A = this chain, B = another copy of it.
Amino acid sequence: MHALLGFLGARTRKRVLFIPYAVVEEEYENYTAIVSQALKPFGLDIIPIYSFRNPLGALRSPELEVLFVGGGNTFLLLKTLQCKELLQTMRDLRWRDMAYVGSSAGTNLACPTIKTTNDMPIVWPSSLDALNFLPFQINPHYLDADPGSTHRGETREKRIEEFLKVNKDPSYDVIGLREGSWLTSENDRATLCGTTGAVLFKQGEKQRELENGVVIL
């Protein structure tokens, strides 16, 4: 929370346009209330996108200071943005002086594609291309392999290695972001923050540990 306020506070941005589309529609209000309650004491005003008659206008408004895309199901988030025809306008925000905050599915959305999400494909978007705010893929909630596990599904490491093998043109690095870590990115510099570190997967290279504080870009 303090990190978020540090990131936003430096800009004294207080109005947050909130997108809860990663949860099912009947949960929008509930989710917005939870986020609102958590951020209000810090002077942040949460304005949900569904409260606008013209959401495209809200995204294009020069008053837009912070865009917060919440967590949930990444496929549902992307498909909803596609269906509401908001995605391209959101992509164009990268040229604006505006802060983007994403948690979980919102983190996946900031990447070139959502191909490294952990979510279940409960709906099928028309494409997996996302906002492309970052030049690499993130795998949030990264879990290290447990050698003692009897679970026979693939480890996260194996999934990401397969992603790299079948995505060579274009190829993107993947950052496995553990719980307790986050990335901040500003002026083409991305920095790993938090306490748990992350794992960097690069095409044709052995994966390696990233320490907190490291500048990724």
- Tell me whether B119 and A166 are in contact (CB under 8 A): no
Interface range on chain A: under 10, 10 to 19, 20 to 34, or 35 or more?
A: 35 or more
On chain B, the residues within 8 Å of A24 by CB distance are 162, 165-166
Q: Say yes or no for A64: interface residue by CB 8 A criterion.
A: no
- Tell me whether A166 and B124 are in contact (CB under 8 A): no
- Tell me whether A116 and B123 are in contact (CB under 8 A): no
On chain B, the residues within 8 Å of A118 by CB distance are 120, 153
On chain B, the residues within 8 Å of A72 by CB distance are 154
A17 to B76 CA separation, bound complex (whole angstroms) = 36
- Tell me whether B73 and A122 are in contact (CB under 8 A): no
Q: Say yes or no for A150: interface residue by CB 8 A criterion.
A: yes
On chain B, the residues within 8 Å of A123 by CB distance are 115, 166-167
- Tell me whether A115 and B121 are in contact (CB under 8 A): yes
Instruction: List CB contacts (< 8 Å) of A35-90 with chain B.
Output: 72-73, 75-76
A26 to B164 CA separation, bound complex (whole angstroms) = 13
On chain B, the residues within 8 Å of A115 by CB distance are 120-124
On chain B, the residues within 8 Å of A73 by CB distance are 154, 159, 162
